[in-house]
Structure formats: structure tokens, C-alpha cells
Amino acid sequence: MPPAAAATTAAPPATTTTTIPTIASPSDAATALAQVDTLLFDQDGVLWRGDEDVPGAARALQSLAASACPSSSSDANNDEKRRRLFFVTNNSTLSRRAYASKLTKRLGGLEVTPQQVVCSAWSAAEYLRSKGFGRGGERSGQKVLALGEAGLFDELTEAGIAYTRGPVLSVGEEEEGGKNGSSSPSSSSLRLSSLRCTSADIASFALDPSVGGVVIGWSAQQFTYAWVAYAAACLRELPLCDTFVVTNRDSADALPSGRLLPGTGAIAAAVEAAAGKAHVAVDAGKGGEWLLRGLLPRAIPDFDPSRAAMVGDRLDTDVAFAVEGGFRAAMLTLTGVAKRDEAEGAALAQRPTHILPSVADLTLDNGS
């Protein structure tokens, strides 16, 4: 046998031999979407960056929404079947309804309905419903301990899931109550008058025995050492408290300046470390099994991954989600977190099928 010859012809790593195709024209876009009838868009880093819209994003989405489904192109009535657009985000600060309204405002007249939005606050609420919490469920008499912002509380309320916020800072008379649907008796919370929290404070926490679960979303305002202590105590000590879900596991989000903001994954990691190894939160966002296998087939009627494309700016959530789900296309935009060289060097599980310098490059020329 010739081992020396074999050594000289060793195969290069499979992930780095080809360049990912770039979509840079309407005809490239049409080719890439030839078999695609359903498009899923991430938002932050794709359609906008903070308050700044990505130029051309609205026009691109309008052209896609107006385009005929490939499957209906031979039908006489192909005007009636258009490509479907959905918006899938790990951001838990807004509800589906609030996202639909924001998208409609920022996409230049394209009307987006709540049914087109799959946000992680809703995904977490639906996970809790699947475990019996909420209206009509076998655990409807139990509540969840919730950390988050308006979007999460609105989705819990919509699902009829009773919640408590645990220890919250009492910094103003309207800090709690009012607009978040927290008028229900379920919103009772411990009040803290300052960020200071002593071991005696923690020792004196009275846990609510009706708490059957913990749900964590992003909140810079509500997240405190006291909250971590309270959540960990619920998980460790309450016999009913066996359900633990996080809206997403993003470790950080990029600010326009480039600085990274600790994400929901960082908050969940703190609670998991405090609660101990037996308590690991289910990930309800992109990257987790629940959204992909449990929620998506219900959220998108007749969903067929082989005819779907995901457009996102992160390799570890958006692209990984599409690859894991067997989507026809996993498209990376370069207007957000991930860079081209990171995509080219990514493992197959996070390797995009296409690169879009911007979502604007997905504009179809429907007039031809």
C-alpha cells in the first residue's frame, strides 16, 4: 500500500472548498427563489438596524409579496396565489400584534398581519400552553413567574396564562400596571425599593406556591440579582414548578456602535446556574426545537420547508434554524451581525446557501 502517496493527496476540509453564491441582481434573486413559495424574514439586522431602515428593504419585500407562487405559474388564476411572507424574530419585547403594526409602518404600505409574525414571546407563550398553562388547560389554575417586557406580558395575557413578575423595582407609580394587561390578579409581585438586595431579603422571600413555571424574556429593567434569586428558589423549592422556558438563547445583540448588549441567553444562563443542573430552560426561539418542530407547522399553514427560504443576519440562529429545518434556502444578509468570511468558514450546520449584501438585493423585477 502507498501510505506516503495517500498523505500527499489528503482531501481539504469539506466546508471551505466552494464559495457561497451571492445574489446581486433581480435575475439572481429570481433564480434562487424559483422553487420557493414561502419566505421567512428575521428583522433586526435584516429589515432595519435599530431605528434605521435598511435602504431598499421595503421595496424588496413589496416585490416579493406581489410575486406569483412558482407552483401557480401555470395556472390561469395565478394572480390569486402570491408568495407568502412571514417574520420570525427572537426579540421578545413586542407581541405579534405590535410587530405587525411596526412592520406595516416601516415597510412602506405592505400590510402585515399578526398571523404573519412568529415572535419569541408568542412562541414561549405557546410552549406554556402546550404544557397545559392558560385558558382551558389542565394547569389553568397555575401561574408562571415571568421576566420580560410588554411583548411577553401581552402574549401571556392573550393566551390566558396567569403570571407574576416576582421582585420588581418600584421606581414610579406607573412602573407596574396599566398598559401591559397586568390588571389581572396574576400580576402580583414583590416590590423592591432599590437595587440593593441582602441575603436577609432573599431569605425572607415568600414564594407563591401556585407558580408552576418560569419564563424568561429580555428585559434590562426587570433583571436583577433579586430576580435571579427568586426564580432559582421557585425552581428549586416549589413542587409544582417544573416548567422552564426562555424566549431565545441569543448571547448578545449588536448595538449600532458595535458594542454588544447582553442577550436573553445571558439572563437565562444566570438563572440556570443559580437553579442548578436539574433546571435547563427550553429554548423557544430560533435555534430551539420547539419553534421549528412544534410551532412553525401550526403558525404557517401547509408549511413545506423544501419550498421555504429563511433570510437572516446571524449564522447561529437564522441560518442554523433554516439548515436544521431542511429549508430550500438559508440566506445571509451582510447588514447585521455575521460577516462574509465567517459565513465562508462556517460549519455545514451554519453555512448559508446564499449571501445577500442586503435584503434589497432580493428585489424581484415583477414587470418582466
From the list 123-131, 140-148, 258-266, 308-316, the region that binds Mg ion by CB under 5 A is 308-316
For Mg ion, the nearest residue by Cβ is: 45
Only one of the segments 12-20, 39-47, 119-127, 189-197 lies at the binding site for Mg ion (rule: CB under 5 A); that segment is 39-47
The only residue of 44, 149, 253, 272 in contact with Mg ion, by rule CB under 5 A: 44
Residue range at the interface with Mg ion (CB under 5 A); choices 30-38, 40-48, 110-118, 230-238: 40-48
Q: Could you please report the per-residue DSSP string of 186-242? A: GG-EEEESSS---HHHHHT----TTEEEEEE---TTT--HHHHHHHHHHHHH-TT--
DSSP-assigned letter for residue 259: P
* Nearest-approach distance from CB 215 to Mg ion, in angstroms: 22
Among 26, 45, 263, 287, the residue binding Mg ion under the rule CB under 5 A is 45
Write the binding mask 309 to 338 for Mg ion: x where contact by CB under 5 A, - elsewhere: ----x-------------------------
Report d(CA 149, CA 3) in Å as an integer: 62
Who's near 346: CB < 8 A, 6+ residues apart? 15, 315, 319, 352
SS3 235: helix
Amino acid residing at 280: V
Residue number with CB closer to Mg ion (122 or 133): 122
Is 148 near Mg ion (CB under 5 A)?
A: no
Task: Look up residue 200 and give its three cell numbers.
Answer: 436577609
Residue 63 near residue 82 (C-beta atoms within 8 A):
no
Contact flag: residue 42 with Mg ion (CB under 5 A): yes
Which uninterrupted H or E stretch holds 332? Answer: strand 329-333
Residue closer to Mg ion (CB basis): 51 or 138? 51
Backbone angles phi, psi at 339, to 5 degrees: -105, 165
Catalytic residue among 28, 37, 44, 250: 44
**Measured on CA atoms in the order 298, 303, 305, 309, is the torsion positive or negative?**
negative
Does the annotation mark 42 as catalytic? yes
Q: Binders of Mg ion: how many residues, by CB under 5 A?
A: 4
Count, residues in the chain: 368
Burial 347-357 (b: 16+ CB within 10 A, else e): eeebbbbbbbe
Per-position x/- string for 260-299, each x denoting binding to Mg ion as judged by CB under 5 A, each - no binding: ----------------------------------------
51 tagged catalytic: no
What mask of x and - would describe binding to Mg ion in positions 187 to 216, judged by CB under 5 A? ------------------------------
Please tell me the distance from the alpha carbon of residue 97 to that of residue 116, in angstroms, as a whole number: 10
Q: How far is the CB of 320 from Mg ion (least distance, A)?
A: 13
List of residues contacting Mg ion (CB under 5 A): 42, 44-45, 313
Q: Which residues are catalytic?
A: 42, 44
